[in-house]
Structure 1
Amino acid sequence: MKMLENDHIRLRAPEPEDLDILYKWENNTEWWQYGSSIVPFSRFALKQYLIQSKQDIYQDKQLRLMVELKSTHATIGSIDLYDFDPFHLRAGVGILVDENYHRQGYASQILELLEAYCFGFLKLNQLYAVVPVQNTRSINLFKKSGYILSGTLQKWLSSGDFYEDATLFQKINHKTYG
């Protein structure tokens, strides 16, 4: 099996052709509570991101990969590494699967491919995820994928009207030294 792909999906760098799907996802206000977006993105801003991103985790301190179905070449989601820390060798994980592809097992596959890349190739020590307590799908995904619930962050996320607790999940690469 090649790195960043399995029999069903492929993780790949964003392409200019992803502009429309990124515009749709980034401007879905129902999803803002799960990420860091609090304002709409213009097509111009997203186009600039696609042009200017070096796709170098050491330079950008983040990495976005698009998820493509190998059978149809449809882009069905994305996965992000954010807050990359090259000294402590850790990064946060954010995952998005388009609602048309929910409950088909893709999220687990995406996370598994990303982990193999991060732990096997980048030699990261750990990945972590901060998940709103209301996001039971993501909580179940990370638990099922072997992430350990490390704590609850009190009143961590703002919805504008109230603050919501978030759970902190970690997955340690036990193949690293220390």
Structure 2
Amino acid sequence: MLENTAIHLRALEPEDLDFLFEIENLQKFWYLSDTLQPYSKKLLKDYISNAHLDIYEAKQLRLVVSLSDHTPIGFIDLYDFNPKHKRAGLGIIIHEDYQSLGLGKSALKMMLNFAYNRLDLHQIYVYIHLENQKSVSLFENLNFQKVGELKDWHYENGVYTSVLVYQNIRNVH
């Protein structure tokens, strides 16, 4: 478990099923993960039971962001893990009730430390919807650099939206 005084990053547990079900089925966030339909509890239960797979095998790592009292408040993911090129994508979602409290930033700092120091990654990248200024500010504050824009990258409800690409490259000097 990765932790500081405010939060923990921990593996998924069976008791996280209801929280995972709630977050994954919030339609307003489906555009973030290209979700097209609701997830069943059975499917998510199976996902949790397979979450023990090593990042080198699964090519992804999803951790629960929880308060020090173990209340889950969100999820943080490394995805498209590529050990050969030493890079991975990063995603985070924090429940609305816990946003703007610095908890997401704290979770991201822990995950970056883990990715660079334990997984020996060279770079982390994120995709941020052009309109999501909260995320832009958050990632820029964590020294992510904007490296491009993917025009009309997502199509949702008859509208194309662009996505910004940010990278954080490990300083090895």
Report TM bin, short chain.
over 0.9
Please tell me the residue identity of whatever aligns with 1:143. E
1:11-30 to structure 2, matched below 5 A, reads 11-30=9-28
List 4+ stretches of structure 1 deviating above 3 A. Answer: none
1:167-178 to structure 2, matched below 5 A, reads 167-175=164-172
Q: Distance in 2 between matches of 1:18 and 1:175?
A: 37
| TM-fit CA distance, 1:60 | 0.2
Report the equivalent of 2:96. 99
Alignment counterpart, residue 139 of structure 1, candidates 126, 136, 140: 136
Gapped regions of structure 1 (runs ≥ 5): none
Per-residue deviation, residues 115-164 of structure 1 (Å, max 9, x unmatched): 00000111101000011101111111111111000010111112141211
CA contact (8 A) 2:12 2:51 kept: no
Please tell me the residue identity of whatever aligns with 1:89. K
TM-score, with normalisation over the residues of structure 2? 0.96
Equivalent residue pairs, number? 173
CA RMSD of aligned residues (A): 1.2
Alignment counterpart, residue 69 of structure 1, candidates 28, 44, 67: 67
Alignment counterpart, residue 87 of structure 1, candidates 54, 78, 84: 84
1:149 aligns with 2:146: yes
Q: Distance in 2 between matches of 1:136 and 1:31?
A: 15
| TM-fit CA distance, 1:86 | 1.4
Q: Quick one: percent identity of the two aligned structures?
A: 39
Alignment counterpart, residue 109 of structure 1, candidates 100, 106, 109: 106
TM-score, with normalisation over the residues of structure 1? 0.93
2:2 is paired with a residue of what secondary structure? Answer: coil
| TM-fit CA distance, 1:59 | 0.2
Q: Distance in 2 between matches of 1:97 and 1:82?
A: 17
Per-residue deviation, residues 86-110 of structure 1 (Å, max 9, x unmatched): 1101000010001110111111101
| TM-fit CA distance, 1:170 | 0.2
Per-residue deviation, residues 57-91 of structure 1 (Å, max 9, x unmatched): 10000000001111x22111110111111110100
Q: Distance in 1 between matches of 2:83 and 2:34?
A: 22
| TM-fit CA distance, 1:175 | 2.1
| TM-fit CA distance, 1:7 | 1.2
Gapped regions of structure 2 (runs ≥ 5): none
Please tell me the residue identity of whatever aligns with 2:106. Q
